Amino acid sequence: MIGTMLNNRYELLEKIGEGGMSVVYKAKCHKLNRYDAVKVLKKDYNNDVDVVEKFKREATAIANLSDNNIVNIFDVGSQDDINYIVMEYVRGKTLKQIIVENTRLSYERTIDIGVQIARALDCAHRNNIIHRDIKPQNILVTDEGVVKVTDFGIAKASSSVTITNSNKIIGSAHYLSPEQARGNFVDVRTDIYSFGIVLYEMITGKVPFDAESPVTIALKHIQDEPVPPKQLNIAIPNSLNSLILKAIQKDPNKRYQTIREMLNDLLNIRQNLDYEVKMSNSDTDYTRVMSTDDVKRKMADAADTDEDDIFDEDDDDVKTRGRKKSSGNGKKILLIAIAALFVILAGVAVGVLASGGIGSLFAGGGTGITDNMKNEEVKVPDVIGLSQDDAKDKIESKGLVYVVRDEVNSSKKKGTIIKTFPDVGTKVKKNSEVGVRVSSGPASQEVPEVKNYDLSQAETLITNSGFKVGKVEKEYSNVKENRVIRQTPNGGEEAQKGSTVDLVVSLGPKIQTTVVPNLVNMTIDAAEVKVEDAKLKIVKIPVEVNPSEEPDKVGKVFEQSIDANTKIEIGQTIKVKYGVAEKGYSAPNWENKTLASIKSQIRQYQKNGITVNIEGDTTGNAVVQSVTAPSSTLYKGDSITITAKVPDTDQNPMQEDDAE
């Protein structure tokens, strides 16, 4: 398909995504000179009228919607055997990718993304469009953080308050509302439920209901209560926790009734984390119990339909193939009859056991049990705390029949007897059955994920989840100090309730120390090598010195910022000062020159820090008689003494010139 030109306008450049029924390409619109996304229906479905209709419905469902948080649809068409939709090209990632990359999102980011999703749904709902497949895979987030809701492929336009579905269950199992799972009427509140599940996943990093098969997940949506998100992430504000729980109520009447109402609560929480979310307290709300007919109908439907034809788990598109033809009602009736018979027999068996054992079924003579045996009584032995084998031996040694009644979770070791039926010490006739209840050990449940949590938060989360904090070890790492870096068992694994969770906590980066060397009197080059050997950094500060006064300082370190033999962290910086010889100036030869002629030279010496003293006459025509300097080379701070005298008036000027 790469390189295909659709409608003489859209050139397919590269594949950027694929779902169950379609492939998405990045395309160049040559008419408007821009990049678009083109969604192409897979050829396998071109002959399926229902699928093609659903595919085109996506374009028509949102073509007239105008909202910054909804992906724009630009065009829809067919060319040869290619059905396609042209939509806005979004540079960014899916919300699912962002959740996976970050494990879970902060409540601030969750609220920000949630507000934008809610605004998109509000626009759709106001235009009588119900999305019906809200999930993180259908939510795009641009590089600038703008949310774009997409994939309205199973959206339904509705002219009334509710819409009904066929006996197919449409949607993605992890985000399916209970009414969708039942195949019942749905309205805008189904989107609110799915949106609540998305918020739950953003803030905790996991969905509230998960299982091996989509059908089992759907049943959990109907039957199970979710773990409050705050139990999985104690950093969640109470207000956001309540908002999510209200959105995912199983009874639609207890949820938010409009997305606008939910959006207002999100905005209020963003402004005030202590905002109180009002939960539904309607007296008319009740729990719906599915009738036997409902159960039979759902079982029959499940028997007729492959799970893959019912649910779209993580694909971008929902499978909508028709249901397979039934192989006949006879098999269904037979299966139901067998199941019913099994339940009846099981009930009879329980009744028999409760009334004294199987022997009671054969009341009267001819049982093969003598009257003496019937009348002899023994006490039920104490087998509490014994293993099954030891308990069986002890019970049978009393002439009684050992029967395992059931196995239940308990704090006792697996395989330990925790109760007898009847109770220990009760007198019963020989050959009576003694039922025992066996411990299956503590119940197992999912260990909470506490990596990257502060230690105190991790301990609280572990305790609130029914576990105990085990060994807490500490080690150096690049993780922030006091944060959990490892846990055993890992988060998400199953472990017995009440068992321990061991933690490894970060001490922060390990601080390595070194000893500061003595650098004074070293040449600057040698000092630099010494500092590097000590794994320290050096800053060299040159200081001019008078080599005639301080010859030992020239080229050598005479001061360091950190004293020698001090222990400091490696990588720190030491500042050193070392001497560099000042610039020298040659002593002047001014004899027999007038002061006026050397005036500018005198000023230059003074500017360079050399003092010039004049003794005798200081008038301009005075002639220098002598110059006294400390050496032939002068430095800043040195002094020159000049002796000057005005010449006699009868002196021959030519003699002066000659003298010069």
CB atoms within 10 A of CB 187: 18
3-state secondary structure of 90: coil
Stated length of the chain: 660
Query: Which ranges in 127-228 belong to alpha helices (H)?
Result: 178-182, 188-204, 214-223
Taking the CA of residue 272 as centre, how many other CA atoms within 13 Å lie in the half-sphere pointing to its CB?
A: 7
**Separation of CA 110 from chain center:** 11
Contact in structure between 136 and 194 (CB atoms under 8 Å) = no
Please state, in angstroms and rounded to a whole number, the distance separating the CA atoms of residues 609 and 281. Answer: 92
Which DSSP letter does residue 588 get?
P
Q: How far apart are CA 420 and CA 289, in angstroms?
A: 35
- Phi/psi at 444 (5° precision): -100, 150
CA distances from 204 to 89, 427, 444, 559 (A): 30, 56, 20, 57
Residue 311 and residue 630: Cα distance in Å, rounded? 103
Secondary-structure percent of the chain, ordered helix, strand, coil, rounded to 5: 35, 25, 40
Q: Which tokens hold the place of 304?
A: 């007729």
**Rounded to 5 degrees, what angle do the CA atoms 138, 97, 35 make?**
65
- d(CA 353, CA 350) in angstroms, rounded, equals 5
**What's the sign of the alpha-carbon dihedral 2, 4, 6, 8?**
positive
Cis peptide before 226 (omega within 30 of 0): no
Q: Is 545 helix (H, G, I), strand (E, B) or coil?
A: strand
CB 248 within 8 A of CB 208: yes
Determine which one of 143, 371, 563, 650 is catalytic: 143
Query: What is the distance between the alpha carbons of residues 438 and 435, in angstroms, rounded to a whole number?
Result: 10
Contacts of 655 (CB under 8 A, 6+ apart): none
Can you tell me the distance from the alpha carbon of 301 to that of 305, in angstroms, rounded to the nearest whole number?
6
- Cα Rg, the chain, nearest whole Å: 46
DSSP string, 3-23: T-EETTTEEEEEEEEE-SSEE
Per-residue DSSP letter, 161: S
Helices (H), 400-548: 455-464, 524-533
Residue 438 near residue 406, CB atoms below 8 Å: yes
DSSP 8-state class, residue 657 = H
Angle between helices 259-271 and 188-204 (to 10 degrees): 30
Catalytic site includes residue 143: yes
Structure tokens of 520? 């004074």
Beta bridge partners of 645: 623
- Strand pairing report for 494-496 and 444-446: antiparallel
- Alpha carbon distance 194, 78 (integer Å): 32
Contact 110, 199 (CB under 8 A): yes
- Comparing C-alpha atoms, which of 478, 458, 477, 453 is closest to residue 468? 458
Q: In angstroms, rounded to a whole number, what is the distance separating the alpha carbons of residues 118 and 259?
A: 6
User: What amino acid positions are annotated as catalytic residues?
Assistant: 143
